[in-house]
Amino acid sequence: MARRQKSASAKGPSQRQLRAGELVRHALVDILAREEMRDPDLDGVLISVTEVRPSPDLRQAKVYVAPLGKGDQAKVAAALNRASSFLRGRLGREIDMKFTPELHFHPDNSFDTASHVDALLRRPQVQRDLDHDEEE
């Protein structure tokens, strides 16, 4: 009887995907810092590239971005998606990969989630439970 193999997404990203994601992330940070973007939604906004998740075949990549300071996350991600072909062309000159991945930008909500969890942990009811556990 043949064993069923787990899908690639169930196991998580491979070392190759992680390495390629970091390579793309570093190159995108350099490109966004150097290039002047001609989109009004990106005017004067510093952008942090928090994570890049390439597909198993490395032909597509989800890029998670967060604006530093002012800037609406959804507008910044939409503006970067409009400029994705320009950024992909610049990325192709920066990195040495067989295929330059197609970039899909998404807002990174992990900072909002972390601050929400932090606020929940600071609530008096939770603090009381945490203090009670430490006494035992």
108 phi and psi angles, rounded to 5 deg: -95, 115
**pTM higher than 0.95, yes or no?**
no
Q: Which domains does the chain have, with CATH numbers?
A: 9-108 (3.30.300.20)
Look over the chain and give the mean of its residue pLDDT values, rounded to a whole number.
85
Q: Which of 65-79, 102-116, 118-132 has the lowest mean pLDDT?
A: 118-132
pLDDT of residue 7: 56
- Residue-wise pLDDT tens digits, 68-89: 877 788 899 999 999 999 999 9
Pairing of strands 60-68, 102-107: parallel
- 3-state DSSP helix/strand/coil percent for the chain, to nearest 5? 55, 20, 30
